[in-house]
Amino acid sequence: MNQEGRRLSLGIPRTVASSAGPCLRLDFTGAASRVLDISRDLARHAKDVPFALFYLMDNDSKRARLAGMAGAEPGASENQIVVDLADANEIVQSWPVSDAVRSEAMQVVEDLHARISPVPCGPWSDPPRSAAVFPIPSSMPHHFAGFLVLGVSSRLPFDDRYRAFFELVTRQVATAIANAQTYAE
């Protein structure tokens, strides 16, 4: 097990939490600016999070738009610009977003190389074999601000500690978005 990666992962939530300060607007742009700050923070920890994709819901909650990314190239197959939540067809969508929103729980995506090509590999020569899709909770029960796709390092086991870390990152993203909305009000 790569202990260096474990030490790095413990520092990321504090970094993400520091990005959760006030923002200028309530609209998509205001929340997106917070997400971009967090994307930059996660990019510095690619050994633990080889790639991250942040999607924010449109006002009607029927579509989500890519608002930020780390470790992925713009326009690549894994980072669709708009995801239609009504379309559960996994051939069209790279990620099981509809399942994550419907179940209100993390969805693990295995065998990434069969789903997307190329898989963003981060700092390692061997790309991640799996990713996790998390719905980002909003301040309203059973509603979501968006969703987060996090690549799982090929050098670390996706165990309870790693999952808890990803859940903490997701909560910090939700807090940053809620803070942006509250500040704008």
Residues 88-105 pLDDT 10s: 555 446 788 888 888 999
Nearest to 55 by CA among 71, 76, 32, 33: 32
Using a cut of 0.85, tell me whether the model's pTM lies above it: no
CA–CA separation, 168 and 51 (whole Å): 16
In a domain, 146, yes or no: no
Question: How many domains, the chain?
Answer: 1
pLDDT of residue 70: 87
Domain ranges, residue 72: 26-130+158-184
In a domain, 100, yes or no: yes
In a domain, 174, yes or no: yes
CA 125 to chain CA centroid, nearest Å: 22
pLDDT of residue 106: 95
In a domain, 140, yes or no: no
CATH number at 55 reads 3.30.450
In the predicted model, residues of the chain with pLDDT beneath 50 are 1-28, 91-92
Longest dimension (CA), the chain: 46
Query: For residues 106 and 163, is the Cβ–Cβ distance under 8 A?
Result: yes
Residues 163-182 pLDDT 10s: 999 999 999 889 888 887 77
